[in-house]
Amino acid sequence: MKENIIDSMLLDLDGTLVDTASEMHLALNVLLNEEELELQPYEAVRSHVSNGVMGIFDTIFEDSPKINGRRFNRYLDIYEEHLGINAQVFPGMNEVINSIEYRGIPWGIVTNKSKRFAVPLLEKLKLFDRASCVVCGDTTTEKKPHPEPINHALSLLNIQNTKRSFYIGDSKKDIDAAKSAGISSIACTFGYIKEDDDPKEWYADYLIDQPSEMLKILNNLI
């Protein structure tokens, strides 16, 4: 086997490694039902999942509840109750992870999702123990697009040459974070992209439409 020229592969969670939109949609409709409000179709929620709960709330609720408000906290409790029920690794991503591990490349998660939800979700999907590091939204002081979470992950992996590391994500903040951290970026369009958002304008180093294209990148680089 040839020597790796990739030191590490870091991945976003929601919309990149795992499809969690159905669970976030379910939690929203449970909340709406409790408040006797109109239920929302899945399509109204999916493209906003990468921006977390507030991204969904800003779209659905006119009063845009503040973080840690009553409605926000109730949503989190509902989501936690349904965590891992419908979430699935995106088709093809298991093969990508298997290929990364076969080549001896350490990989990890860098997500804005809080530890409260990210860790048990990864555990249910049997991914937590496989990852070399997991950096959550409350692990560091700053969140993406700030480079601190990625820099922290690289530190945990003892990575010195950032140019030989990659970060893959489905939003502009992911690519901006990778650029600021000085590592290579891969934008994926199979995640939660808004209709008015053009991933080409994020100017990532690579742009992929499906996980299988990650394998081609790996094969070309290794």
Q: Tell me the pLDDT tens digit for each residue of 64-73.
A: 666 678 899 9
Distance CA 134, CA 149 (A): 10
Query: What mean pLDDT is predicted for residues 173-181?
Result: 97
Q: Nearest 5°: phi and psi at 116? A: -55, -35
Check pLDDT > 90 for residue 48.
no
Hey, what are 125's tokens? 């999907």
Percent of the chain scoring above 90 in pLDDT: 79
Could you please report the per-residue DSSP string of 61-119? Answer: -TT-PPTTSHHHHHHHHHHHHTTTSS-EEPTTHHHHHHHHHHTT--EEEE-SS-HHHHH
Q: Nearest 5°: phi and psi at 192? A: -105, 75
* Surface-to-core class of residue 59, CB atoms within 10 Å of its CB (0-12 exposed, 13-18 middle, 19+ buried): middle
Q: Tell me the pLDDT tens digit for each residue of 145-160.
A: 999 999 999 999 999 8
Q: Tell which wins on pLDDT, 222 or 16.
A: 16
Check pLDDT > 80 for residue 1.
no
Hey, what are 131's tokens? 């990852």
Check pLDDT > 80 for residue 4.
no
Give catalytic residue positions: 12
Domain 8-19+88-221 has CATH 3.40.50.1000: yes
Domain boundaries, the chain: 8-19+88-221, 21-81
Check pLDDT > 60 for residue 2.
no
Q: Tell me the pLDDT tens digit for each residue of 91-105.
A: 999 999 999 999 999
Query: What mean pLDDT is predicted for residues 43-64?
Result: 85
